[in-house]
Amino acid sequence: ELKVKVCIFGAGGVGKSSIVTKFIDERFLPEYDPTIEDFFRKRITLNDEQINFSIIDTAGNEEYSLIIENWIKESNIFVLVYSITRKLSLKEVQFFHDKIQRFFDCENYPKVLIGNKSDLFTKREVSIEKGKKLAKELNCKFIETSAKTGENINQIFYETILLEIERLKTIEN
Ligand code: GDP
Ligand code: MG
């Protein structure tokens, strides 16, 4: 059984908790307590492999608690989220990436940059090109998602887990 620990980061309001809830139990909550910092677990079967999946949903404020610091150090997948409807939230991704790197050299681990709220395309402030550009700079995969419609939510986690399986295979050999 493969143990996968995931961190999700991004500015307040970009949809981190909504993404996690949608993936864990396929619900979309129109309102979600912004102060909640929580752990979730799920068993996943992917390409015949059993995955013990766990994720920490961060509130994204002030300095990280020791819990988050330790979680970062044990994590193997990093998810960075911005909202396509808020330009500033893309800038803030860089800040979260720097913060992670203060605790842990995440360079060789799967990382993904998420442009969330793709259903709100009429309010778009961040082009796909801008998102892709930052993803390239940070050496991340790039996906646009909607926690509301569910678009690409499973892909965030399935694709990064597959990358992690690949990474582990290269270490073994
Ligand atoms: P967090 O602070 O990053 O955890 O953000 P939340 O998950 O609490 O979401 C903030 C607000 O955005 C809530 O009102 C959500 O319902 C809403 N929201 C989150 N994801 C989406 C999305 O993909 N589309 C739309 N339309 N709203 C979303
Ligand atoms: Mg939240």
Q: For ligand 1, say whether the CB of 115 is within 6 Å of any of its atoms.
A: no
Contact 84, 36 (CB under 8 A): no
Tens of pLDDT, residues 130-169: 999 999 999 999 999 999 999 999 999 999 999 999 998 8
**CA of 32 relative to ligand 1 center, distance in Å:** 8
ipTM of the complex: 0.99
DSSP string for residues in 75-132? -SEEEEEEETT-HHHHHHHHHHHHHHHHH---TTS-EEEEEE-GGGGGG--S-HHHHH
Contact 4, 76 (CB under 8 A): yes
Residue type, 31: E
Q: What are phi and psi of 43, to 5 degrees?
A: -95, 130
Contact 90, 142 (CB under 8 A): no
Q: For ligand 1, say whether the CB of 151 is within 6 Å of any of its atoms.
A: no
Cα within 13 Å of Cα(134), Cβ side: 23
The residue that leads in pLDDT, 62 or 53, is 53
Q: For ligand 1, say whether the CB of 159 is within 6 Å of any of its atoms.
A: no
Q: For ligand 1, say whether the CB of 134 is within 6 Å of any of its atoms.
A: no
Contact 56, 68 (CB under 8 A): yes
pTM: 0.94
**CA of 20 relative to ligand 2 center, distance in Å:** 9
